[in-house]
Chains A and B, each alone.
Chain A
Amino acid sequence: MTQLAKVAPFGPRVGLFATCLVDLFRPSIGFAAVKLLEEAGCTVRVPSQTCCGQPAFNSGDRATTRDLALQAMEAFEDCDYVVVPSGSCGGMMAKHFPELFAGEPKLAQRALAFANKTHELISFLYDVLGIRQVTAKFEGSVTYHDSCSGLRELGIANQPRALLTSIQGLNLVEMNEHDVCCGFGGTFAVKYGEISGAIVGKKAANIAESGAAMLLAGDLGCLMNMAGRLSREGKQIEVRHIAEILAGQTNEPAIGAKPLPKD
C-alpha cells in the first residue's frame, strides 16, 4: 500500500498538508500525493499538523481559526511550498489566512507569505511545476466533479482535466452541472442534512447519467458526500480522489467500498 519512490535529494522542499480528512479517513490520498510530488522531483516533508481551521472559520469562531492558522504557519515555516490535496483547505490557507490578521502588520505579512507559497496539489503540479503528462496507466471512463472552493477560489478547472487526459486509455466524460456544488459544505451537510441530501441527490443523478464508471474530484469532503449518496442509492460507481488515479495508486478499495480482506 505504501510503496514510495526513493526520496529525491534535490528539488524544492514541499511540506504536505494532508488535511484532516485525508489524515484520518483516507491516508492513501496522502501517499498518492507524495508519489506525485516526489516523481516531480520534490523533497516531501510532513510536518506535524491537524486542521487548517476552516470549520472554525465558517462557524464564525475567529479566535480558534487564528490559533490554528498560526499553528500551521509555524509548522511549515521551513518549507519552500505548502501543498494541499484539497481545493477547500487550500483555499482557506491561500486566500483566507491573510484576512485573519488584518490590523496586525507583522502577522499579516507572515500570513501573506505563507498564502503565497501554498498551493492545491493539482494546481501545484500543473501551474507551478509545469507538469503536462503523468506516467500512470488507467483504462476506463471517469467523470470529474469541480469542487467549489478549488474552482472558484483557486481557478482549478482545466489543470485536472489536462492531467487526466494525458493518461492513455482514460476516457473523461463530463457530467451535466459538473461545476455545481455537491451539497457538502462542511458542517452544512450535518446541520442542514435534508437540504444537503436534496443537493447531493441531484448530483448523484448527474453522475450516474454521465455513464462513467468512476467519479473523481480533488476534495475528500465532497467525495465522501457523493460516495455516501451513490452507495445509499445503490449506484455502482467507484469514487476516488484524482491524485490516486494520477499517481496510479488504485490498490486500496475506492471510497466507501468494502475493505480488502485481512491476511
Chain B
Amino acid sequence: MTQHPTSTYFKDNAHRALQNPQLQKALGNSRKGFIERRAQAAARLPEFEALRDSARDIKNHVLAHLDLYLETYEQNVIASGGHVHYARTSEEASQIIIDLCKERGARSVTKGKSMVSEEINLNAALEKAGIKPIETDLGEYIIQLRKETPSHIIAPAIHLNKEQVEADFRKAHQHLSPERDLSQAPQLLQEARAILRQQFLAADVGITGANFLIAETGSSVIVTNEGNGDLTQIFPKTHIVIASIEKLVPTLEDASQLLRVLARSATGQDMSVYTTLSTGPRRSADPDGPQDYHVILLDNGRSSMLGGEFNDMLRCIRCGACMNHCPVYHAVGGHAYGWVYPGPMGSVLTPSLIGIEKSAPLPNASTFCGRCEEACPVRIPLPKLMRHWREREFERHLTPAVARSGLAFWAIFAKRPRLYRLCTSIAMRLMALAAGEKGLFTSLPFAKGWTQQRDLPAPQGRTFQEQWQKVRGNQ
C-alpha cells in the first residue's frame, strides 16, 4: 500500500477518519498518555533542555560532515567483518535485500520494527520474490495481519482498539481454541508471543532498522520495548540492517546523548527496555549472533536535502513527539496523511521524499500552533519548514486556485490603506446589517468551511480606524 501515496487526498482521508467512531475512540484513548508521560520524564531530568541542545548540535555536526562519517562507518563495519551496501532508491534497497535473501536460500525473514522498511515497501517486494516477511513488533504484527500500514512511527497500531485486535487474532490464529479468553491486553500479548517465538526460531534472515549508526565502532543500535529486535537479529544466520544515511552519529558517547532524549520524548521512559548494539557478525568468543552481517544505507532523496532549506529535517530521530503533540494528528490519525510518515514530521519529510506534487496538502494541514517544535528533542523548526513548502507551492502555482485568487484579491486592498479603509468601512457596515439582531451568521456561501462547523460572529459595524478618526482625528 505504501507505494501509492494518497497524500493528495488528505482532505477526503481526514473526512473518513473523522467519521470513523472506532478510530476516534482509539485516538481519544491515546492522546493524553504520551503528552503527560513526556512532560513527566522531562521534568524528572534537570538537564533535559541542555540535552536537547546537545542532541541538535550532534546531528547538525554529522549532517555537515556526513561524507566523512559515512566513510568511517563503512570502514569500521568492514573491519568488524560486516558488509555495507549503498542504495540510492527504494527499489535498489529492496533488490539488495532480496538478492541477499535468495543467495542464502531464505524462505522466511523476521523483521524488527523499521520505518525505513515501510518507506521502501520491503514487505511487498519480499512477498513478490516468494519470501515470507514476519513482523515481530506486536503493533507491526497486528497491522500485518490486517494488511494495514503503521499509523504512527513508534506505535504502529495506535489507531486500533483492543476489541479489534481480539477479532483479528481469532481470525488469524484458528488453530487455537475458540473458547480462549482474549478480553485483556496481556492475553493478546501472550498469544502473539507464543506464535512469534516459533517464527523467530524458523527464520533464515533477520531484518532490523537502526535508530543510530555509530561511525567510530561500525555498530548499529536499535531500541525496543519488547525484545523482538534482539530475537530477530540473534537467531537467524544472517542479520540485515536497513537504515537511512542520516542515522549516523560520530561516537558511542554521542549515541548515548541522543538515547537520553529519544525515549523520554517518545514514550516518557528514561530509556527503552532494550537498547541493542550490533557490531559485525558473531565472533568466535560470542555465545550467539549471526554469521553474516549486512548494512544497507539508503539515500532515497536525503542527500538532496543536505545543506538546503530542509536540511534541519534530517536531524529527526523518529521519536514521534511531534505527532503526539499535534492537534491535527489527534483529530485524524496517521493514515489520513497518506504515506509512511504522518504528523508534522511527515508533512515536511514526505514532500522531500516523494515530491510536493504527490503530497501538496500535507504542509498546509497545520494550524502552526508550534507544539511540535516545542516538543521536538532535536529542535527541528517544523512550522518553519512546512511554511517553506508552502512557499514552494506558491512559487510553482501548486496552491489551489481559489486560495490563490482569494489571496490576490485581499492583497489589492491590504496594500492600499486608503482603499482598504473605504471598502472595509462599507463592507463591515453591510455585514453588521445583514447579520441583524442575531449578531452572527449561521451560514455564509463564501465561507462554508467556517460556517459548516461554527457560527461566524458579526462585525460590530463601524471599523476601528473609522471610529478613531472621528474621535481623535489623524492622531
Contact = CB atoms under 8 A, between A and B. Distances in A.
A50 B413 contact: yes
A20 B448 CA distance: 21
B439 interface: yes
A161 interface: no
B410 interface: yes
B463 A192 contact: no
Contacts of B447: 190
A135 interface: no
Nearest to B432: A259
Nearest to A231: B455
Interface stretch (B156-164, B249-257, B465-473): B465-473
Nearest to A262: B437
Contacts of A181: 327, 367, 369, 371
Given A46-B472, A60-B395, A189 B428 contact: no
A225 B415 contact: no
Interface in B438-457: 438-440, 442, 447-450, 452-457
A229 B451 CA distance: 9
Contacts of B51: none
B67 interface: no
A194 B453 contact: yes
B131 interface: no
A248 interface: no
Nearest to B472: A46
Interface in A135-189: 148-149, 152-153, 180-181, 183-189
B14 interface: yes
B374 A199 contact: no
Interface string B330-344: 111000000000000
B424 interface: yes
Contacts of B472: 7, 46
A121 B458 CA distance: 24
B460 A26 contact: yes
A49 B417 contact: yes
Nearest to A68: B414
Nearest to A261: B437
B366 A64 contact: no
Interface in A47-68: 48-51, 53, 55-62, 64, 67-68
A224 interface: yes
Nearest to B450: A190
A51 B414 CA distance: 6
Contacts of A195: 14, 18, 328, 331-332, 365
A141 B453 CA distance: 27
A61 B394 contact: yes
Interface residues of A, number: 73
Contact of B392 (A20, A27, A60): A60
A258 interface: yes
Interface string B355-381: 000000000111111110110000000
A21 to B, nearest CB: 9
A185 B368 contact: yes
B401 interface: no
A18 B387 CA distance: 25
A145 to B, nearest CB: 12
A106 interface: no
Contact of B440 (A2, A191, A256): A256
A49 B394 CA distance: 26
Contacts of A229: 453-455
Contacts of B365: 192, 195
A184 B457 CA distance: 14
Given A58-B387, A191-B364, A197 B14 contact: no
A23 B449 contact: no
B456 A228 contact: yes
Contacts of B438: 258
Interface string A220-263: 00001101110110000000000000000000110111110000
B428 to A, nearest CB: 5
B415 A50 contact: yes
A196 B25 CA distance: 18
B403 A192 contact: no
A146 B442 CA distance: 26
A59 B387 CA distance: 8
B213 to A, nearest CB: 33
A197 B464 contact: no
Top 5 A-B residue pairs of the complex, sorted by shortest distance between their CB atoms: A185-B367, A197-B453, A193-B449, A60-B394, A228-B454
8 contacts: A23-B424, A48-B418, A50-B414, A55-B407, A68-B414, A180-B371, A192-B365, A228-B457
Given A195-B365, A199-B327, A259-B458, 4 more contacts: A26-B460, A50-B413, A59-B390, A231-B440
